[in-house]
Amino acid sequence: MNRKWWKEAVVYQIYPKSFQDTDRDGIGDLAGIISRLDYLEMLGINTIWLCPINVSPMRDNGYDIADYYKIDPSFGTNEDLEELVEKASERGIRVLMDLVVNHCSDQHPWFQEAVKNPDSKYASYFIIKETDGEAPNNIRCYNAVSAWERIGDSNRFYFHSFAKEQPDLNWENPFLRREIIEMMKFWQQKGIAGFRIDAIGNIKKSKYALAQGMLPPDGDDGMVSVDKYVLMQDGIEEYLQELKEEVFDKYDMMTVAEVSVPEERMEQFIGENGLFSMVFDFSYTDMDIEKRNGKEWKRPWTIGELKKKIYDSQNSIQKHGWGSPYLENHDQPRSVNKYIPRDEISYESKTALGVLYFFLRGTPFIYQGQEIGMENYPFRDVKDLRDPFAVSRYQQSVDKGENPENDMEYFRERGRDNSRTPMQWDDSTYAGFSDVEPWINVNPDYVQINVKEELDKEISVYHFYQKMINLRKNPEYGETLTFGAFQAVETKEEALIGYRRTDDNYRITIWVNLSNKVAELPKSRAASMVILNNRTELEEDRLLPYQAIVEVEGGKE
């Protein structure tokens, strides 16, 4: 068995801008993360993933990098990052960085030079086309506008999958790829243990994406989604293999790719000698949305659908490699609001969700605040929003004469700002995040939901997450829960979700009742219970509403 260190990791994702402010500017910083390392060590995690902290104009909150070698002053300095790595290491915690290399900022010196001088070598670092004055084609970027932006008053256009301030890099250029490789080595030498790699499935473009002429539209706007022409294109493996050989393998790095991989290519991406350690699977976390005319909208779903998607995901990943189970991240709303009806959100439902995903096969990820049960923000109007994608979408609806309140309703339920509000440390002003007004509003529920409150309670979401982490690290059961095979348990009741982790020593069964009704368990289960999330004792052969348990059968000789 391939026993890489990252398979035994429990990752805690930090959105630095919203974690802890120490220099009183309303923005979180690296010193703030350092000040909270004891908290993270107590929780039990052993790996931190930092969302982007490089120099950036922050048009997309750091996912638009203007200098790959420097930390943005709002977060601190390169020396602060080195201190974080050192002090985290003293606590047995590794640090991952976010690698954003499909695109950069339009303020990056490379792009500035490419715009200024068409003959510069940097012009070929980007995808730039000169035409007779019209955009090369009708591809729609993720911001629901043209993927081509005119350069000044010239007839030159550059390609951007995301916002116009984020020009795509030209991975066809070997000199550009060498720049990226050297940059990755630079951070590895600073002690970075790996990378979460943003939008990496977009780096190879179809020839049709770059050709001139109309493509078949898929919406009323006469444009066509960029997805078909930039996601997982043939030949992307050559670029990724180069990164793997030059960096990932040489330094035993943990690499987590943000890319949807079809079953037939899974082995290549996460197999024994795959391109990455693991990839994120969006099948069950994005099942509540659908796209129409370039916009995402909420769609109805069922617990049965959720169950099937989790089972299918686990079975597919298990055939080929390693998974990365998660409920929340910086691009998702708070999971309790997504999966649990509003009037059923409680300690029980929050911890039941935790049990549901935490013991799946793979490296579990916890997003900041998830471990205390943080919830969505009650956005009133567009003035509350900070996500540039949301603000742009709202304005597009206004400009088209559409009702922007429909967009606001989507943002309240599904907007990315829900997960980006400040970490709620205590019930003091600004939730202990800062002494001054933060860059984004604090959720008004911070008085009830905060770290201090959770630590003071004997039974709390935080303490339950701590128990789950400790169980996964338990010398007796941890081997099975980490490396054991996944096996779905079929149940008659839709809301009863069951699965097993098995090896030669134990058969550990996870049962979760994800409903407000009693669920019947299979009878005659010869097992010992090791985790129960409900305050009451387990009733024989049934689970109470939102009750979840972990049961163990077998034992070492």
CA-CA distance, 214 to 141, in Å (whole number)?
15
The residue from 165, 198, 281, 288 that is catalytic is 198
Q: How many helical (H) and strand (E) elements, i.e. helices and strands, does the chain have?
A: 17, 23
Please say whether the beta carbons of 28 and 343 come within 8 A: no
258 is catalytic: yes
In angstroms, the Cα distances linking 426 to 40, 41, 45, 48 are 16, 19, 21, 22
Q: How wide is the angle at C-alpha 249 spanned by C-alphas 246 and 253, nearest 5°? A: 110
CA-CA distance, 66 to 50, in Å (whole number)?
17
The residue from 98, 149, 165, 258 that is catalytic is 258
Element (H, E) at 67: strand 67-71
Task: Characterize the bridge pairing of strands 54-55 and 67-71.
Answer: antiparallel
Q: Burial, 359: exposed, middle or buried (Cβ in 10 Å; 0-12, 13-18, 19+)?
A: buried
In angstroms, the Cα distances linking 198 to 48, 104, 118, 119, 497 are 16, 11, 28, 30, 31
72 is catalytic: no
CA end-to-end distance (rounded Å), the chain? 21
Placement of tokens 């630095």 in the chain: 16
Residues marked as catalytic = 198, 258
